[in-house]
Chains A and B, each alone.
Chain A
């Protein structure tokens, strides 16, 4: 950790292999994310996108390769996973808010119980985060009383409350109604503009093009092609990328 400097990649994935039993999902994936960068991982379903980002905060283990977050090996058996997860925030497709807690409590819980920060400070931060995701006034609503888009924004605020260095977004708009997708995307865009390092798995191509600094295209467990959005979308080289883009765009 001491030898990591902000000039080096914040997240560095090297030749990662991951199998579920017989099924090999990742077959040697490498990518780098610099501080403040926004990268989007796109690709057909089953290509290993979600598995890849779940490996970055050790929700899944890997069989081979290395994942460094701020110079720390994620799959070191001696790693303090809690330390890693304080640095890496994650938002899920199904929001996964705690249904027995209000929006504000959802956001405050981890800083209070895990970081043991003083309540007044946490509450102040939680309220400003709710305002930031444009949900002021919903402090005392339970997740069941919020729409999908609102729940997802609370989930983003909950993750941000831990003040992570990098945020992982796992198809966060895939379960939403079309009309609420935009409000979540706007929230993520705000975050990106504030300089948060983001790794997104997404099917929103227009959004990826707009916010990403770099696009990675995965297919069958490998990164087929990657590049800045302009080159990637307009000038794809690989036939598989071309085929995928022609189906989507």
Chain B
């Protein structure tokens, strides 16, 4: 006698009826704006072990016939690390700071415009937000690189526009659009009763927004804002394609200086991976901790 599998236990659940999925207090089944931070924050020693395994074991198998040893490759990396960090990674951080600052400042304004009752303000803001939020970052970077001149003249003053500055502008565009969405979402998450109460107390719209609504949702904006900062930092290596001398470009140059041994690839780029992780992990942990704290008391 064959045992009939029980749907959902012994076999995949299948039904043509509407199914209410199990309740998830973190709302992960719906849309998780902190997906990235949650992923990074959950990494633990097992992932580190796996990473070490790849870095240490894979090249010994792949390049077993070569005379250049893996030890030499790590020695080369050790020599280059101070240079890669101070000249390369710090530049990535610098780019991320500037892009975040510009993206946040413009994004907040754009986000406030998105909830304007005046459609002449609201509709362009929504359009700009959606356009830059849904465009590939690399495409935006190239557009900025090619569309901006290498220098601008302001009142007879010539200001050079180096590639890294263009990269900052290019990266600030998607950040701007995403922060705009964060602001809009946070404002709209405040119950409409707050607007009505303020309205009935004769507050103007502007007063309501700045005195009552924004102070309430400011905290709610911090975790997604930090989440976007971590994503942005991880995206700064894209600038290497614009010829900006950040960590990836410098790693490539260092590998070339070390005679392009293929054994160098994993240690050097593994190091880049590690240093980005070391920078973003605390941010992700902090983001998730803040999110939990703010979720409890409102």
Question: Are A110 and B216 CB-contacts (below 8 A) given A96-B197, A98-B197?
Answer: no
Taking CB atoms, residues of chain A closer than 8 Å to B203 are 110, 113-114
Chain B residues with a Cβ closer than 8 Å to the other chain, count: 19
CB contact list, B258-273 vs A, under 8 A: none
Interface contact B202-A92, CB-CB below 8 Å: no
Check: B86 CB closer than 8 A to any chain A CB.
no
Q: At the interface with chain A, which of B27-35, B207-215, B226-234? A: B207-215
Question: Are A92 and B211 CB-contacts (below 8 A) given A99-B298, A113-B203, A114-B203?
Answer: no
Taking CB atoms, residues of chain B closer than 8 Å to A155 are 197
Interface contact B202-A114, CB-CB below 8 Å: yes
- Complex Cα distance, B212 from A64, in Å, reads 33
CB contact list, A145-166 vs B, under 8 A: 155, 158-159, 162
- Complex Cα distance, B212 from A92, in Å, reads 17
Task: Choose one: B199, B211, B216; the contact of A59 (CB below 8 Å).
Answer: B199
Check: A109 CB closer than 8 A to any chain B CB.
yes
Interface contact B216-A100, CB-CB below 8 Å: yes
Interface contact B194-A96, CB-CB below 8 Å: yes
Kindly provide the distance from the CB of A149 to the nearest chain B CB, expressed in whole angstroms. 18
Contact with B along A61-98 (1 / 0, CB 8 A): 00000000000000000000111011011101010111
- Complex Cα distance, B204 from A98, in Å, reads 16
Interface contact B215-A100, CB-CB below 8 Å: yes
Contact with B along A157-194 (1 / 0, CB 8 A): 01100100000000000000000000000000000000
Kindly provide the distance from the CB of B220 to the nearest chain A CB, expressed in whole angstroms. 12
Check: B257 CB closer than 8 A to any chain A CB.
no
Kindly provide the distance from the CB of A33 to the nearest chain B CB, expressed in whole angstroms. 17
Question: Are A110 and B297 CB-contacts (below 8 A) given A94-B193, A96-B196?
Answer: no
Of B198, B201, B216, B298, most buried by chain A (CB within 10 Å of CB) is B201
Which chain A residue shows the least CB distance to B200? Answer: A90
Taking CB atoms, residues of chain B closer than 8 Å to A81 are 202
Which chain A residue shows the least CB distance to B215? Answer: A100
Kindly provide the distance from the CB of B46 to the nearest chain A CB, expressed in whole angstroms. 40
- Complex Cα distance, B194 from A90, in Å, reads 13
Kindly provide the distance from the CB of B112 to the nearest chain A CB, expressed in whole angstroms. 19
Taking CB atoms, residues of chain B closer than 8 Å to A102 are none
5 contacts between A and B (CB under 8 A): A92-B193, A98-B212, A110-B202, A144-B298, A159-B201
15 more A-B contacts (CB under 8 A) besides A83-B202, A88-B200, A90-B200? A59-B200, A85-B199, A85-B200, A89-B200, A92-B197, A92-B200, A96-B194, A98-B194, A100-B215, A110-B203, A113-B203, A144-B298, A155-B197, A158-B201, A159-B201
3 smallest beta-carbon distances between A and B, as pairs: A96-B197, A85-B202, A90-B200
